């Protein structure tokens, strides 16, 4: 079977060794002669999986004992509501930075729960940049930011400094670079980009921030309930958590976030160098805010897109069509994507230029 170069924006590519281990666990997990998919989530065997996954998150993000890690269902979209429900006081105000579709969805949900102030937005230029040097009031309950914008291809290279807790949606660049997690009050991320398959969301929260909203809490929406239950207040998404644990093991084994950041920088550099050199393409975002995870670009002559599509499909490249809100192309360079796949796409872009420039 020929190699497929998988640039899907999500669910994204996973390491081959992780997929192999996960597939074996579906048949015989932990030498139990039972499938991972059919054992009790409260068995000691699976409890060890959750414990290891949480410990690896804390280790990789340099989190101390004030932070609790939980794995939940509902995707990052559920966190758009859970964050303000747990952190926004009934008489308080939360600040939000609007940098794209997912940030704007988070703002919409938070407004249903309490007072929200949009501190800055890049909507004026179709989300092609990251706002900087915006004022952040010290009396905010928290500031919500989105570290990487999958659709528009922008990424925060530096995080804001604020006198209030910072909440960060890291769904599309979690574990892709070295980050000191202690600069955030809460981090959440859907697994399906860099961590595992769709179906679970990781939340890491400074426990000292909880229980101060002044509202009665639904149990399923209360972080404290899930922390107390060890991610098992209700039946957890067993398989996605297990694959996430395997992926975190893979990251640690290969050198952690310092190692993967170097790999990701090399892949992104190769892509952007070709986009800037190639007379047929142009990037869609401000250069200083270009994402290392989602490289967005368009063609100078859109009428030639069918010809380019033919070439990359012949090269066994998959998943590079741009989001409908942006058009053009999007190459997602998640952790497990090898440099050889980036080189394959670069070669196609160069071949296209030779034929049609």
DSSP assignment of 159-206 = PPP-SS-EEEE-TTTTTSS---GGG-SEEEEETTTTTSSTT-EEEEEE
Residue 197 near residue 243, CB atoms below 8 Å: yes
CA atoms of 337 and 193, how far apart (whole Å): 11
What H or E segment, with its residue span, contains residue 67? Answer: strand 67-72
Sign of the dihedral defined by the CA atoms of residues 264, 267, 272, 275, in that order: negative
Phi first, then psi: give them for residue 17, nearest 5 degrees: -70, -30
Query: Any catalytic annotation for residue 124?
Result: no
The beta-strand segments (E) located in 201-344 are 201-206, 281-283, 294-299, 317-318, 329-332
The position carrying tokens 């991320």 is 189
Q: Which residues, including other chains, have CB under 8 Å from residue 345's CB and lie 6 or more apart?
A: 5, 7, 271, 312, 315, 317, 320, 331
CA atoms of 239 and 29, how far apart (whole Å): 11
Q: Which one of 68, 102, 206, 267 is the catalytic residue?
A: 102
Q: Which one of 169, 206, 222, 289 is the catalytic residue?
A: 169
CA atoms of 270 and 299, how far apart (whole Å): 18
Residue 328 near residue 128, CB atoms below 8 Å: no
Query: Any catalytic annotation for residue 193?
Result: yes
Question: 308: helix, coil or strand?
Answer: helix
CA atoms of 193 and 106, how far apart (whole Å): 19
Q: Which one of 193, 206, 222, 289 is the catalytic residue?
A: 193
Query: Any catalytic annotation for residue 343?
Result: no
DSSP assignment of 207-241 = GGGSS-S-S---GGG-HHHHHHTTT-SS---HHHH
Q: Which residues are catalytic?
A: 102, 169, 193
């Amino acid at each position: 079977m020929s190699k497929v170069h998988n640039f899907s924006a999500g669910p994204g590519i996973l390491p081959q060794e992780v997929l192999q281990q996960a597939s074996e666990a579906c048949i015989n997990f932990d030498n139990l002669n039972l499938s991972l998919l059919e054992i009790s989530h409260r068995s000691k065997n699976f409890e060890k999986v959750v414990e290891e996954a949480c410990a690896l998150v804390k280790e990789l993000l340099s989190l101390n004992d004030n932070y609790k890690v939980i794995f939940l269902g509902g995707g990052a979209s559920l966190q758009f509501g859970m964050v303000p429900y747990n952190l926004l006081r009934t008489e308080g105000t939360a600040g939000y930075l609007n940098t794209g579709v997912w940030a704007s969805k988070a703002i919409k949900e938070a407004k249903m729960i309490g007072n929200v102030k949009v501190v800055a937005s890049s909507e004026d230029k179709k989300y092609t940049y990251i706002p900087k040097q915006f004022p952040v009031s010290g009396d905010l309950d928290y500031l919500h930011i989105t570290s990487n914008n999958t659709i528009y291809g922008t990424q925060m290279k530096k995080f804001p400094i604020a006198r209030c807790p910072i909440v960060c949606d890291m769904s599309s660049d979690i574990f892709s670079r070295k980050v000191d997690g202690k600069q955030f009050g809460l981090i959440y991320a859907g697994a399906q980009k860099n961590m595992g398959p769709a179906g679970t969301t990781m939340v890491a929260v400074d426990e000292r921030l909880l229980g101060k909203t002044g509202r009665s809490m639904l149990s399923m929406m209360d972080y404290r309930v899930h922390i107390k239950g060890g991610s098992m207040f209700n039946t957890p998404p067993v398989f996605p958590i297990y694959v996430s644990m395997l992926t975190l093991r893979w990251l640690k084994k290969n050198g952690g976030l310092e190692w993967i950041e170097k790999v990701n920088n090399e892949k992104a550099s190769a892509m952007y160098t070709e986009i800037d050199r190639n007379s047929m393409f142009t990037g869609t975002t401000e250069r200083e805010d270009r994402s290392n995870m989602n490289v967005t670009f368009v063609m100078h002559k859109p009428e030639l897109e069918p010809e380019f599509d033919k070439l990359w499909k012949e090269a066994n490249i998959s998943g590079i069509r741009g989001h409908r809100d942006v058009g053009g192309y999007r190459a997602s360079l998640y952790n497990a994507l090898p440099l050889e796949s980036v080189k394959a796409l670069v070669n196609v872009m160069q071949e296209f230029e030779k034929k049609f420039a």
